[in-house]
Structure 1
């Protein structure tokens, strides 16, 4: 079954959207990076994106692979970010992603259509896992968008709307995609 990525810069409403999709009965996969940050902070580790992005990216890659292969095969699953996000974050930090990221992406076959949320200042909030300013979040969004396009994904930008309306937008798109492939 299809595995869709929902992406965008930090604080654009991805997690809220995924919660809404889960409430509608869809399978969702948590954001690997956010959970890793919590775990690494609790351990007192330096393996954090603002300290050692390369080491953090490697851990995030392994977690994303685990989440991908743990997703059920018999239903549509939505992922809070995908492997291309790691590549985009590395590029944004002027770190050249090595081949293992592209090899992992080849093994994790996400749907070619990816839902992306643009920066939205009125809903943006910092918290213990989201340290970036809104301007930095905007730059990361641009890197994410560029990376997905370079990798051949088709981006579907979600409207600035309520979480419920965004979820309806996503569901309408995937239902349309399924009906056009039958």
Structure 2
């Protein structure tokens, strides 16, 4: 079976989670972003592996969680959409001296097409799980764009607009 593990990445606050919910409503399997799951878990506990407390510990947990997500979903049928994933976590870990992308990722790969949501200031919101500003989100977006390109992924920038149109775009670009 062809690799149908598809990543939706991009700028924090760019509408990734909303897009994933729209795809889920169309019957696609989705995997929630590792970072948000980690933040929620950490805020319930001691809160040490938070990106604003210890970015390296946070990124290491995100790499492990994303790897588990890939393994868990690899045998599933159909297209599965990931809200971020291993590349995003590896990019974050690499940005704090945790190794190179190739060292962190190894041979694990997603579908060759990846979808990035661009910075979208009009919808950007900070919350208890996203405590960085838009500038940091834009810097992360630019780093991810570079890292996905370096790894040879075919990048599609998801156009801004109503979520249903964004979901249509993703599905159309993937083809049959």
Q: TM-score, normalised by structure 2?
A: 0.91
> Which residue in the other structure is 2:83 paired with?
80
In structure 1, the gaps of 5 or more residues are none
> Which residue in the other structure is 1:46 paired with?
48
Deviation per residue, 1:55-98 (Å, 9 max, x gap): 111111111111112225211100001211123223444x2425
Across the two proteins, how many residue pairs are aligned to each other? 172
State whether residues 37 and 48 of structure 1, in contact with CA within 8 Å, keep that contact through their aligned partners in structure 2.
Answer: yes
Q: TM-score, normalised by structure 1?
A: 0.88
SS, match of residue 78 in structure 1 = strand
Report the Cα distance in structure 1 between the residues aligned to 2:133 and 2:27, rounded to whole angstroms.
34
> Which residue in the other structure is 2:130 paired with?
130
State whether residues 91 and 143 of structure 1, in contact with CA within 8 Å, keep that contact through their aligned partners in structure 2.
Answer: no
Report the Cα distance in structure 2 between the residues aligned to 1:141 and 1:92, rounded to whole angstroms.
13
State whether residues 32 and 63 of structure 1, in contact with CA within 8 Å, keep that contact through their aligned partners in structure 2.
Answer: yes
1:50-65 equivalences in 2 (<5 Å): 50-65=52-67
SS, match of residue 121 in structure 1 = coil
> Which residue in the other structure is 2:149 paired with?
149
CA shift, 1:101, in A, is: 1.6
State whether residues 19 and 166 of structure 2, in contact with CA within 8 Å, keep that contact through their aligned partners in structure 1.
Answer: yes
RMSD of the TM alignment (CA)?
A: 1.5
In structure 2, the gaps of 5 or more residues are none
CA shift, 1:45, in A, is: 2.5
CA shift, 1:4, in A, is: 0.4
Runs of 4+ in 1 over 6 A off after TM superposition: none
Report the Cα distance in structure 2 between the residues aligned to 1:170 and 1:34, rounded to whole angstroms.
23
Report the Cα distance in structure 2 between the residues aligned to 1:37 and 1:100, rounded to whole angstroms.
25
Greater share of residues in helix: 1
1:11-26 equivalences in 2 (<5 Å): 11-26=13-28
State whether residues 8 and 116 of structure 1, in contact with CA within 8 Å, keep that contact through their aligned partners in structure 2.
Answer: yes
